[in-house]
Amino acid sequence: MADQSTSQVGRWVAFALTLIVIGCLFLLAVRTLLPEKSLVKVSTYEPWSEEVLEAARGIPLQDGGRVKPLETYAGYKMLGMRGDRLVKILGKDGEKVKITPTGWMLDALFRPEVAIKLPTFRIDNSDVVELIGMKPKAKRDRYTYDEVAVAREELFRLGGEYEKLQQGEVELDAVQKQTLALARGVREFESFLTYFSFARAGIELRGAGEEGASQYQRTSTVMATAEVIQQVLQEARDSGTAPSAHVQDILQQITDHSNAAKFGPSFLPPADAEQKEWATPGAKIWNVMTRESADPAGAVADIAGMENLVANATRPEGFGEKLMTWREGMEGRAEARGEGEWVGLELSYNKGNWFFRALFMAFLPAALCVVLSWVSPRSMWGRVMAGLVWAGTLSGLVMLVIGITQRSIVMQRPPVGNLYDTIPFITAAAMIVVLIVELITRRRLALLLAPLVGFAGLVMARLYEFGDPNDPMDPLLAVLRSNYWLTIHVLTITFGYGAGLVAAFFGHIYVFLRLFKLDGGDKALRRFLTRVTYGCICFTLLLSLVGTVLGGIWANDSWGRFWGWDPKENGALMIVLWTLFILHARMGGILREWGMNLCAIFLAVIVTFSWWHVNLLGVGLHSYGFSDSKKFAVFLFYGIEGVVLLFGIGYMLVERLGKKSGLSKAAVPGDGVKVEG
């Protein structure tokens, strides 16, 4: 009776623990969705029509070395500045208005006077706000450009200082890093605000109008006279005199417009097929005026086209159509160059929002069903819940696979090429391994694990993306541009990570079952679990060993050495060595049930070291930038696993001591039984 009640208590403790884990993960995930505490009121805000947004989303542009839709570009820019992908404000009559990244980008480009009132900058650290002389707002509240502009000068001064320090390889502290990031963000936002100033302001011809008033000309019109202006300048040079003030004024305005539009999105595909870089309007203006343009007439037409767009942007009717016509023109030019082929698919990927949907619409409900199934696992209720878990898990996995596949096609490479890519892939790989185990064993144990794996993996992916807002679909470095090696080495090794984590999951289940006495003393269940763990470790060894050697062969082809003791290589080797140790120690009788499962848990620590930690060392050929929050997460994980291991080892020792002293109760059979394999 005492054991039964202990088991019941254990059951509810485990129930509560699982709920807490899901709750924590859920909170981490929704933290990325939380709006600011107080919404900014922009009573003049007029939302863009769906027609305009639809036309704008798919505008192709070149950024980060590839052609992508404006929607993707705007999404990452907004994420970088705001920390999320949705602006919420109070519009006319205090109504809540939601602004998507595309709408926000259109505001910045076409309506800067409105965009500067939108809450655009997230500054988490109040020290940064105070450092640049602003008044801190509540946590999570965003700042408008108008608000930041007051401190612009000081911000840029400090930004420049920190940039120099960083170039001198000085490690910046958190406040310095965030100040620098803010300065860069503000500067970039300014490049959007001034992007179309050439079209809005035109060229002022002072005194050319009646009674000395100014006349205005389109920038494109003045560009068309570039040859004449250059002749005038040449004549002035030849005669040794300065050009007239009138010409100098025009040139100054042209230069200002060109500089203001030199940065920001590169919308204009070049006519010359040999020319790889798409142009910004600023570059076009500059090249025409300096007569460096290979196609000045085309450049003038491009600028005139943009001027027409800007002129129509303030008129609600017809802008969507005009924008779509302009977009089609750019799409046609991109297509003629053999570029932009996957923009449509990327839009579909963005619209699908597969990882978000899988996270919140499939894995989260399925994970909750896992918890609910615990209420009465062997009853009809339990079976219904299991059915729902299957449904949620499979639908989530399908979404995950669709997302990974679409990304892969858009990137035109295998699904894993950078650290972000590894997360959804390893999540899917781990889930597949877990579901295969379930199909083989049909004990509903692995099944219950699957949605938790998917949920945890996609929360991690989301946090990573929000913490490092750079487009992970941008092309890879020269050395990584080998689809053959990316396929056979990277996929194998990452699959190995997944298998290692699954082994660790089963190790956790074993330890928790024992700690909370949930197995009811069932020796067969313990043996079964240990055999599953053992199988997963074998699978991890196979994948990690083959993957590591393949990596060495690749390194031998690209860097001239099979093995270089690079941290990433060492991490992979550590996984191989640890799994080899487990298998040999088991064969040598050193490890039995407890040992095998505790070692499997430690395997998660080694996988984490190899997958994440080596990247924060800042040395080697696989080093990536790493934020403090990710470092914290890695060490937190070590800490949690350390606690689990301590409890596991403690419990195991207590049990053994109890056995030796003859005080053991009936609840510990199965320990010390050698696992057959």
Partner 1 sequence: MDDTIAKKSRDPRKRVLDFLAGFHLASTLIVLLGILTWLGTLEQVDMGLFEVKKKYFSASTFWVVPKYNGYTIPLILPNAYWVGMLFFLNLSLGTIFKARWRPATMGILIAHFGILFLLLGAFVTQHFSKRGNMAITEGETSDVAQDYFDHVIEVTELVDGKPAKINVVETKYLSDLDPEDTRLFRMKNLPFDLKVQEYRVNARPVSTAEKPAQPGSAVVDGYFLDPREPAVDAERNLGGCRLTVLDKKGETLGAYLLSIASFYPVTVRVEEKMYAIQIAKSSWKMPFKVHLTKFTHEFHPGTMRPKRFESEIERIEEEQTEPVLIKMNEPMRREGFTFFQASWGPQDGPPGRKLFSVFEVVRNPADKWPEYSLYIVAAGLLLQFSMKLIQFIIQQTKRNG
Applying CB under 8 A, among 387, 618, 642, 658 the residue interacting with partner 1 is: 618
To partner 1, the closest distance from the beta carbon of 155 in angstroms equals 25
Distance between CA atoms of 291 and 295, rounded to whole angstroms? 10
| Stretch of 180-188, 375-383, 551-559, 631-639 contacting partner 1, by CB under 8 A | 551-559
Tokens of 278: 């798409």
Half-sphere exposure of 453 (CA within 13 A, CB side): 34
Which CB atom, from 240 or from 589, has the smaller least distance to partner 1?
A: 589
Half-sphere exposure of 336 (CA within 13 A, CB side): 13
Which CB atom, from 151 or from 574, has the smaller least distance to partner 1?
A: 574
> What ranges make up the beta strands (E) of 311-450?
none
Applying CB under 8 A, among 171, 589, 660, 661 the residue interacting with partner 1 is: 589
Distance between CA atoms of 91 and 102, rounded to whole angstroms? 18
Which CB atom, from 167 or from 239, has the smaller least distance to partner 1?
A: 167
Distance between CA atoms of 136 and 69, rounded to whole angstroms? 35
To partner 1, the closest distance from the beta carbon of 566 in angstroms equals 8
| Stretch of 45-53, 185-193, 563-571, 639-647 contacting partner 1, by CB under 8 A | 563-571
3-state secondary structure 165-183: HHHCCCCCCHHHHHHHHHH
Distance between CA atoms of 296 and 117, rounded to whole angstroms? 37
To partner 1, the closest distance from the beta carbon of 584 in angstroms equals 5
To partner 1, the closest distance from the beta carbon of 64 in angstroms equals 6
The strand pair at 87-90 and 40-41 is best described as parallel
| Stretch of 148-156, 305-313, 463-471, 582-590 contacting partner 1, by CB under 8 A | 582-590
To partner 1, the closest distance from the beta carbon of 588 in angstroms equals 3
Which CB atom, from 571 or from 648, has the smaller least distance to partner 1?
A: 571
- Within 492-531, the residues that bind partner 1 by CB under 8 A are 531
Residue 556 near partner 1 by CB under 8 A: yes
To partner 1, the closest distance from the beta carbon of 99 in angstroms equals 27
Nearest-Å Rg of the Cα atoms of the chain is 30
Answer positive or negative: Cα dihedral of 122, 125, 126, 132: negative
Which CB atom, from 144 or from 570, has the smaller least distance to partner 1?
A: 570
To partner 1, the closest distance from the beta carbon of 536 in angstroms equals 11
Residue 564 near partner 1 by CB under 8 A: yes
What CA–CA distances, in Å, run from 441 to 525, 537, 541, 671? 11, 17, 21, 22
Half-sphere exposure of 187 (CA within 13 A, CB side): 15
Which of 598, 600, 587, 490 has the alpha carbon at shortest distance from 534?
Answer: 600
Tokens of 58: 């798919």
User: What number of other Cβ atoms are within 10 A of residue 41's Cβ?
Assistant: 13
Which CB atom, from 221 or from 441, has the smaller least distance to partner 1?
A: 441
Applying CB under 8 A, among 227, 561, 643, 654 the residue interacting with partner 1 is: 561
Residue 276 near partner 1 by CB under 8 A: yes
| Stretch of 174-182, 187-195, 243-251, 469-477 contacting partner 1, by CB under 8 A | 469-477
To partner 1, the closest distance from the beta carbon of 288 in angstroms equals 20
Distance between CA atoms of 479 and 364, rounded to whole angstroms? 39
Which CB atom, from 296 or from 552, has the smaller least distance to partner 1?
A: 552
Number of residues that bind partner 1 (CB under 8 A): 68
Residue 274 near partner 1 by CB under 8 A: no
| Stretch of 316-324, 353-361, 365-373, 616-624 contacting partner 1, by CB under 8 A | 616-624
Distance between CA atoms of 49 and 319, rounded to whole angstroms? 9
Which CB atom, from 200 or from 613, has the smaller least distance to partner 1?
A: 613
Helix, coil or strand: residue 138: coil
To partner 1, the closest distance from the beta carbon of 591 in angstroms equals 9
Residue 386 near partner 1 by CB under 8 A: no
Which CB atom, from 164 or from 442, has the smaller least distance to partner 1?
A: 442
| DSSP structural state of residue 120 | E
- Beta-bridged to residue 66, according to DSSP, are 63
Which of 225, 243, 223 has the alpha carbon at shortest distance from 233?
Answer: 243
To partner 1, the closest distance from the beta carbon of 534 in angstroms equals 9
| Stretch of 111-119, 216-224, 304-312, 541-549 contacting partner 1, by CB under 8 A | 541-549
- Within 595-614, the residues that bind partner 1 by CB under 8 A are 609, 614
Q: Give backbone dihedrals phi and psi of 99, rounded to 5 degrees, phi first.
A: -115, 120
Place of tokens 């602003």: 134
Applying CB under 8 A, among 121, 192, 374, 539 the residue interacting with partner 1 is: 539
Residue 80 near partner 1 by CB under 8 A: no
| DSSP structural state of residue 268 | B
Q: Give backbone dihedrals phi and psi of 551, rounded to 5 degrees, phi first.
A: -60, -40
Residue 5 near partner 1 by CB under 8 A: no
User: What number of other Cβ atoms are within 10 A of residue 227's Cβ?
Assistant: 11
What CA–CA distances, in Å, run from 319 to 162, 314, 327? 43, 8, 12
Distance between CA atoms of 8 and 676, rounded to whole angstroms? 30
- Within 403-442, the residues that bind partner 1 by CB under 8 A are 440-442
Which of 572, 576, 577, 578 has the alpha carbon at shortest distance from 598?
Answer: 578
Q: How far is CA 265 from the centre of its chain?
A: 20
Applying CB under 8 A, among 389, 541, 600, 633 the residue interacting with partner 1 is: 541
> What ranges make up the beta strands (E) of 454-513?
none
- Within 35-64, the residues that bind partner 1 by CB under 8 A are 62-64
Residue 648 near partner 1 by CB under 8 A: no
Residue 382 near partner 1 by CB under 8 A: no
Which residues sit at the interface with partner 1, rule CB under 8 A? 62-66, 266, 276-278, 440-442, 474-475, 477-479, 481-482, 485, 531, 535, 538-539, 541-542, 545-546, 549-550, 552-554, 556-567, 570-571, 573-574, 577-578, 580-581, 584-585, 587-590, 609, 614, 617-620, 674, 676-677
